[in-house]
Amino acid sequence: MKISWRVILLWALPALVIGFFVWQGAFAQSAAELGSNTASTRMTYGRFIEYLEAGRVTSVDLYEGGRTAIVEAVDPELDNRMQRLRVDLPANSPELISRLRNEQINFDIHPPRNDGAIWGLLGNLVFPLLLIAGLFFLFRRSSNVPGGPGQAMNFAKSKARFQMEAKTGVLFDDVAGIEEAKEELQEVVTFLKKPERFTAVGARIPKGVLLVGPPGTGKTLLAKAIAGEAGVPFFSISGSEFVEMFVGVGASRVRDLFKKAKENAPCIIFIDEIDAVGRQRGAGIGGGNDEREQTLNQLLTEMDGFEGNTGIIIIAATNRPDVLDSALLRPGRFDRQVTVDAPDVKGRLEILDVHSRNKKLAPEISLEAIARRTPGFTGADLANLLNEAAILTARRRKDAITMLEINDAVDRVVAGMEGTPLVDSKSKRLIAYHEVGHAMVGTLIKDHDPVQKVTLIPRGQAQGLTWFTPSEDQSLVSRSQLLARISGALGGRAAEEVIFGDAEVTTGAGNDLQQVTGMARQMVTRFGMSDLGPISLEGQSAEVFLGRDLMTRSEYSEEIASRIDAQVRSIVEHCYDEAKRIMRENRVVIDRLVDLLIEKETIDGEEFRQIVAEYTQVPEKEQYVPQL
């Protein structure tokens, strides 16, 4: 095990200081003993006076300022032999010197030694020096650690990661599924490489490009691809790194960032999650100085101030453009907004093709089928899907990924980890009727999405699941489709009530009821699909942005609110009655499907539709075939 000498110093420093003071005390004590304790036999002061009066004392040596004496005297008890004796003198005995002179006894006064003062002075100097030296080495060591104490004086400097040669390892070929966004950003790369093509016709490059889209759609990946394609200096920073606890630090970091960028122009500055610093000003409740607002003001000044930023292109990413300050979005700062939305089926196929390059896929794997089964998945979701499938393949000790692993990975990503199947009991049968109720309504209503599979295998918090696959990538949803989805969501509760009675309905439909209520309320208040008429009674975003929407939210009268509640109730009750009607008219096929589901635990959508078709007419539904 290799131990750094700095670590040894850190542990040895306290031991050295303690040992120094112990040695100092021992040395001072030994010095005093050398000066005063040279006699091994003690004599009391009274007996010393008796010897002095009897004329037996021949010499006296005084030490420690007259507090101790070494006496040479003739001892009659030892045949008048000479003996050296130590005597502790009283504090106040000034007459002793006069008496020794009168008796004509040789005496000598030894001044006290000041070794203790010298060592005390050295001790007071050595300890601070050792402490300062130790702190110096510790700060020097921590200065190499990012964010360490040694960098405390650099808190006003920009924390942007800088790459002189943008070797991000990502090119436009590695970004798939967002072709429109790539075309918009290709102009930025072309301007950085060949600016004369634009300047020759009087065009100027946009100063800023704002990437807008949901999480996981590839905004940061696009910024890396721009840097990789352009090959110019690249600054990367997160919006949260501008604002910290120190007042004025954010503005200082913005100035420092743009100063470095001007020195390396032309270059790219990428600010991830810019909504952390670019939120609307004046949105706080109450007064006071807002550090975020000062940082935003400095950013606005740098992007379009008096000096200008020739050759600097700012790329920012956010998934909350609605909270950004309007001054940040105006032309001259962020000239264009590039929407990076969830990919369609063609884009998902391209993304799957990119992420499957380093995966071992079985020959029967169809990326087209996976793309059709994953509507709404972003690039990050698809990458995670294939990674989960690869993990399952390794866990099952297979050589290649098969469709079984793909299907299990989709279920795991959407619904959660697979749980332990239920034993055959009353609860399992009730859950089976609940899930078959969802599937029956979805199959027999024309405008509902087709059933993909029904399963009793628990996943996440759900004890059973019914999967529906949309027939196409739907950007627009009709009123009949919304009503069909509400009826399908109520199919489980309807089955419980029709089969087991009103007293036996369970809490299993709790999540279904939340979704149903939300869809019905949006039909009334947002989409104008009720008897209230084509009016919208709420904004596009249901989230409240503190300081703006809290005070300016649209309001309506109590009468309108009552009518909204009545319309929501009417829509839900109509759909619930339709679901119960389907349950009552198809009781025989429902019982058969439940018995089969309990036996197999999973029924495929195609098999489900074939069984239902034996008892009733299944409406024809459009099968979406994407143009790939």
Report the C-alpha dihedral over residues 494, 495, 496, 497, rounded to 10 degrees: 50
Cα–Cα dist 493/145, whole Å: 59
> Helix or strand or coil: residue 325?
coil
Cis peptide before 14 (omega within 30 of 0): no
Catalytic residues: 435
Contact 436, 419 (CB under 8 A): no
Cα–Cα dist 257/260, whole Å: 5
Of residues 334, 281, 329, 292, the one with CA closest to residue 309: 334
Contacts of 119 (CB under 8 A, 6+ apart): 24, 27, 28
Question: Up-side HSE of residue 13: CA atoms within 13 Å toward CB?
Answer: 18
Contact 209, 321 (CB under 8 A): no
Cα–Cα dist 348/346, whole Å: 5
User: What length is written for the chain?
Assistant: 628
Of residues 84, 238, 253, 77, the one with CA closest to residue 158: 253
Cα–Cα dist 419/458, whole Å: 5
Cβ count near 540 (within 10 Å): 7
Beta-sheet pairing, 267-272 with 312-318: parallel
Q: How far separated are the first and last CA of the chain, in Å rounded?
A: 59
Cβ count near 222 (within 10 Å): 26
